[in-house]
Amino acid sequence: MKSEEAEARAREFIKQRHSRVKRVFFRTMYREEGCWVLHGEVEFKRAYFFATVRSFKLQINTETGEVISYEVHPSRPKKAE
């Protein structure tokens, strides 16, 4: 699996897992022991003018493309632009 495929799988997984996803941003991405590890931020729509940004770490198996683990950490509240 190439890095582009891993990014696409990660976006698809996050959008299926959460409603109201506004944006997914990948900060770092690397291979480690048979899996892709992606770190980034996901922005959720909260109200008309507000959004919430959360950090995440996601691991995808390089052979099967299956998500191995997914962790979300609270981040800073952000005003929508």
What are the residue ranges spanned by the domains of the chain? 3-79
- On whether the CB atoms of residues 21 and 12 are closer than 8 A, the answer is no
Residue 48 tokens, joined: 């008309």
- On whether the CB atoms of residues 21 and 44 are closer than 8 A, the answer is yes
**pTM, entire model:** 0.82
Question: Which tens digit of pLDDT belongs to each residue from 8-44?
Answer: 999 999 999 998 899 999 999 999 999 999 999 999 8
Confidence of residue 60 (pLDDT cuts 50, 70, 90): very high
Instruction: Check pLDDT > 60 for residue 78.
Output: no
Which single residue is written with the structure tokens 């099967």?
A: 64
CATH code for the domain defined by 3-79: 3.10.450
